[in-house]
């Protein structure tokens, strides 16, 4: 074991000498020194200490994990923060109603007292990070079975966290987490400081912040002003505190200077944020599974979206209720389509298989890795059918809203605390859900083998004359379809009696019947395989590092802070087509169509354009001989990003803010599995457009007083 660990260490150390291909890679900020020469050669002008330091304020102190899975950046000494419109969306939506429709009209606090609190929303700053592999793996050896090993590691992790937090004793908001990197070959400790009073300051109307909607989502050319503005509040001593009117704007250690010059084609840029999950080092069997699973999941979401979109178009009230849900469903739906296309275009499956063949040959001289590929393949084979069936549970019957509520109630019974159903009913439309239920139950019937189907299900279908009859029976008789119905059912009941009444509800019976099969026949098969995968990937990862000592490995994304760097570049999506790296206001006007909700440009923007009245925001996007004065809107770059990087600061070589990351192009989305330097581009909203909108559409230019510009 000791020897292997040393080998691994040597592999890691050696890898620092050689850079990865093109702009692939999401690098750990505290190890960024290994990349700094490459970054400098490409146009970075600061030092590694400027990116991450524990001795002085550094750029990391201006970056936060925003909410559950986005990034945000500080842009003023008074806690002002930028993130994406889609990251703020659920909060903007929660303050919206037909009277105050901030989604449609936008929201601009005109002074601090108008800023809106958001219960449940938190932001976390990274205080420091450290390699704690030795402490976490203390007393662990390769002969241990996985359960013992995990127990030991968990205990060690608890100790590491406890010890680390001692230093911050008595101070509010500190949290520690230990994350595994390279499939358990390394462990890093992260200390965060979490702030929980975060208020909404500004959001453009959706016709800017979500311009192009789901049609343009994941696409280029793109014209979305995907930003929103929040402010972090702290207690009078600048310490984290829950919402209180006595709280004051938080004073950050560091905030970004905004570059009013913006950025140009070919220039260096880096993204500092929290990418969520990538799987760059998996075997071909996983890719094969993704290629089978994606089409099933896509089809089920298409059916749900068709139903929701039709209802939303017909009724503005339904639109408010379902806009956030539909956007959420549509996002991964479209991403999976791009991912499958990209994987097929790249031939990722065949490339992985060829790589594995070479690896296999190499193991003849490296017996410690012999057989690992077979064992991985076996584990995937064992769970394959269960995994595919699981899609028809997770994206199928369990995606019916009424059944999600039943699941929450069932969980509530067990936990002894009933869920808060207010938000559920605020956004619920029974007619939509009933149609969705018919579609999803039909999918289940058509695609899931008897092995993974509840025994009583067929009899139920027969009793009610098929899927539609059965779904109608549930929706006609369940008390859960309305808040009054549920209240009525729960009123005056407690404990066992309440439990029984709930479980007698047809929606709950449906949930119970499917949950039983899922928990008995599907989850255990998947869990058993996953345990094997965990162990074998640890070996395979180490094996890949030894097999390719020249390659500059970076750990898969896991929502920890990373730096990705590259430059502003266009790309060739197909033969003969070149996508330029910038879009402008001219393109917004070209897409203008008042008939289509997603392309209905706000009147104020039309006006600006008609009068060519861009004031100080006019930029020459043409040439010197043929100037075209307009406002840049979005740009492409070669930074390696993924979900979670939304809202991340996009910075120039001097560490100044030039954009806010919000997307990738469609043909990039396979970069979670294989990065293609020719094709992969992240999409950012240009900071010049953000400022233009704040000033000219929001009339909130007063916010500039607290920012600093270059």
Alpha helices (H) in 448-593, listed in sequence order: 457-463, 467-477, 483-490, 495-503, 506-517, 523-547, 585-591
Please state the closest distance from residue 328 (CB atom) to ligand ARG, in A: 7
Q: Which of 107, 333, 336, 662 binds ligand GLU (CB under 6 A)?
A: 662
Phi, psi of 34 (to 5 degrees): -70, -20
* Residue 599 three-state SS: helix
Choices 43-51, 74-82, 213-221, 475-483 (CB under 6 A): range interacting with ligand ARG: 213-221
Q: Which is nearer to ligand ARG, 453 or 669 (CB)?
A: 669
Q: Which is nearer to ligand ARG, 156 or 661 (CB)?
A: 661
**What is the per-residue binding string for ligand GLU in 197-236, x denoting contact by CB under 6 A?**
----------------------------------------
Distance from C-alpha of 398 to C-alpha of 454, rounded to nearest angstrom: 14
Please state the closest distance from residue 304 (CB atom) to ligand ARG, in A: 14
Phi, psi of 174 (to 5 degrees): -80, 135
DSSP state of 694: I
Q: Which of 135, 296, 302, 331 binds ligand ARG (CB under 6 A)?
A: 331
Beta partners for residue 634, in sequence order: 583, 685
Distance from C-alpha of 478 to C-alpha of 507, rounded to nearest angstrom: 6
| 259 makes contact with ligand GLU (CB under 6 A) | no
Distance from C-alpha of 526 to C-alpha of 452, rounded to nearest angstrom: 13
Residue with tokens 């090993």: 149
Q: Which of 645, 652, 665, 684 binds ligand GLU (CB under 6 A)?
A: 645
Can you read off the two tokens belonging to residue 306? 């068709």
| 334 makes contact with ligand GLU (CB under 6 A) | no
* 58 part of the active site: no
Q: Which is nearer to ligand GLU, 643 or 659 (CB)?
A: 643
Choices 173-181, 210-218, 455-463, 499-507 (CB under 6 A): range interacting with ligand ARG: 210-218
Residue with tokens 């740009």: 635
Please state the closest distance from residue 686 (CB atom) to ligand ARG, in A: 17
Choices 208-216, 315-323, 451-459, 514-522 (CB under 6 A): range interacting with ligand ARG: 208-216
3-state secondary structure 272-300: EECCCCCCCCCCHHHHHHHHHHHHHHHHH
Please state the closest distance from residue 311 (CB atom) to ligand ARG, in A: 17
Distance from C-alpha of 698 to C-alpha of 691, rounded to nearest angstrom: 10
Interacting residues with ligand ARG between 364 and 403 (CB under 6 A): none
Taking alpha carbons only, the member of 53, 258, 45, 385 closest to residue 704 is 258
Can you read off the two tokens belonging to residue 12? 């890691």
Query: Which of these is catalytic: 58, 76, 86, 609?
Result: 86
Please state the closest distance from residue 215 (CB atom) to ligand ARG, in A: 9
Q: Which of 161, 210, 542, 664 binds ligand GLU (CB under 6 A)?
A: 664
* Residue 709 three-state SS: strand
| 309 makes contact with ligand ARG (CB under 6 A) | no
Q: Which of 342, 555, 644, 653 binds ligand GLU (CB under 6 A)?
A: 644
* Residue 296 three-state SS: helix
Q: Number of helices and strands (H, E) in the chain? A: 25, 22
| 643 makes contact with ligand ARG (CB under 6 A) | yes
Cis geometry, peptide bond prior to residue 184 (ω within 30 degrees of 0): no
Choices 130-138, 368-376, 543-551, 661-669 (CB under 6 A): range interacting with ligand GLU: 661-669
Distance from C-alpha of 176 to C-alpha of 169, rounded to nearest angstrom: 12
* 285 part of the active site: no
Q: Which of 93, 124, 206, 217 binds ligand ARG (CB under 6 A)?
A: 217
* 456 part of the active site: no
Query: Which of these is catalytic: 50, 226, 391, 556?
Result: 226
Calculate the alpha carbon distances from 558 to 32, 48, 310, 473 in Å: 17, 22, 36, 43
# residues contacting ligand GLU (CB under 6 A): 10
# residues contacting ligand ARG (CB under 6 A): 13
* Residue 71 three-state SS: strand
Q: Which of 50, 61, 214, 600 binds ligand ARG (CB under 6 A)?
A: 214
Q: Which of 27, 52, 192, 218 binds ligand ARG (CB under 6 A)?
A: 218
Residues annotated catalytic, as ranges: 86, 226, 646
């Amino acid at each position: 074991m000791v020897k292997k660990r040393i080998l691994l260490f040597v592999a890691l150390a050696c890898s620092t000498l050689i850079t990865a291909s093109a702009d692939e890679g999401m690098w750990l900020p505290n190890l960024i020194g290994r990349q700094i020469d490459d970054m400098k050669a490409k146009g970075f002008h600061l030092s590694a200490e400027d990116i991450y330091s524990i001795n002085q304020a550094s750029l990391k102190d201006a970056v936060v994990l925003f909410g559950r899975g986005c990034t945000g950046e500080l842009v003023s000494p008074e806690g002002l923060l930028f993130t994406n419109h889609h990251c703020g969306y659920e909060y903007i939506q929660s303050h919206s109603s037909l009277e105050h429709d901030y989604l449609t009209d936008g929201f601009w606090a005109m002074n601090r007292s108008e800023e809106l609190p958001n219960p449940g929303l938190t932001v976390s700053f990274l205080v420091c990070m450290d390699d704690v592999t030795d402490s976490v793996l203390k007393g662990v050896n390769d002969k241990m079975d996985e359960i013992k090993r995990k127990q030991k590691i968990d205990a060690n992790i608890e100790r590491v966290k406890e010890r680390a937090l001692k230093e911050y004793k008595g101070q509010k908001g500190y949290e520690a987490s230990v994350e595994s990197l390279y499939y358990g070959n390394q462990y890093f400790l992260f200390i965060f400081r979490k702030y929980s009073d975060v208020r909404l300051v500004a959001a453009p109307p959706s016709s800017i912040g979500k311009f192009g909607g789901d049609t343009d989502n994941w696409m280029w050319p793109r014209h979305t002003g995907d930003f929103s503005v929040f402010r972090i509040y702290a207690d009078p001593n600048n310490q984290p505190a829950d919402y209180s009117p006595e709280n004051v704007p938080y004073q950050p250690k560091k905030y970004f200077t905004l570059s009013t010059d913006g950025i140009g084609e070919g220039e260096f840029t880096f993204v500092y944020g929290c990418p969520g999950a990538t799987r760059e080092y998996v075997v071909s069997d996983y890719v094969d599974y993704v290629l089978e699973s994606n089409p099933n999941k896509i089809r089920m979401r298409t059916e749900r979206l068709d139903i929701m979109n039709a209802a939303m178009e017909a009724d503005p009230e339904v639109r408010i209720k379902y806009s956030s849900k539909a956007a959420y469903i549509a996002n991964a739906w479209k991403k999976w389509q791009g991912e499958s296309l990209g994987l097929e275009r790249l031939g990722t499956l065949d490339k992985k298989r060829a790589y594995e063949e070479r690896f296999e040959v190499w193991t003849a001289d490296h017996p410690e890795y012999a057989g690992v590929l077979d064992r991985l393949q076996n584990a995937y084979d064992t769970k394959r059918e269960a995994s595919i069936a699981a899609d028809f549970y997770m994206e199928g019957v369990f995606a019916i809203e009424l059944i999600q509520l039943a699941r929450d109630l069932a969980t509530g019974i067990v936990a002894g605390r009933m869920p808060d159903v207010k938000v559920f009913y605020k956004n619920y439309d029974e007619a939509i859900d009933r149609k969705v239920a018919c579609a999803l139950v039909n999918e289940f019937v058509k695609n899931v083998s008897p092995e993974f189907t509840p025994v009583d299900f067929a009899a139920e279908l027969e009793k009610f004359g098929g899927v539609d009859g059965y779904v109608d029976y549930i929706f006609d008789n369940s008390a859960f379809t309305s808040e009054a119905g549920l209240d009525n059912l729960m009123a005056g009941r407690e404990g066992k009696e309440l439990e029984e009444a709930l479980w007698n509800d047809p929606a709950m019976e449906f949930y119970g019947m499917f949950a039983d099969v899922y928990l008995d026949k599907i989850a255990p098969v998947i869990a058993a395989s996953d345990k094997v995968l965990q162990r074998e990937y640890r070996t395979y990862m180490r094996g890949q590092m030894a097999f390719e000592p020249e390659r500059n490995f970076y750990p898969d994304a896991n929502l920890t802070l990373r730096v990705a760097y590259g430059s502003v570049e266009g790309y060739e999506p197909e033969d003969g087509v070149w996508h330029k790296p910038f879009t402008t206001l001219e393109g917004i006007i070209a897409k203008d169509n008042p008939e289509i909700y997603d392309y209905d440009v706000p009147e104020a923007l039309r006006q600006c354009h008609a009068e060519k009245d861009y004031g100080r925001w006019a930029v020459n996007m043409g040439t010197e001989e043929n100037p075209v004065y307009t406002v840049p809107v979005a740009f492409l770059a070669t930074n390696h990003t993924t979900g979670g990087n939304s809202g991340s600061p996009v910075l120039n070589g001097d560490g100044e803010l030039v954009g806010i990351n919000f997307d990738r192009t469609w043909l990039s989305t396979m970069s979670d599995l294989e990065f293609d330097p020719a094709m992969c581009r992240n999409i950012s909203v240009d900071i010049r457009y953000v400022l233009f909108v704040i000033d000219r559409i929001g009339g909130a230019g007063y916010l500039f007083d607290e920012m600093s510009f270059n």
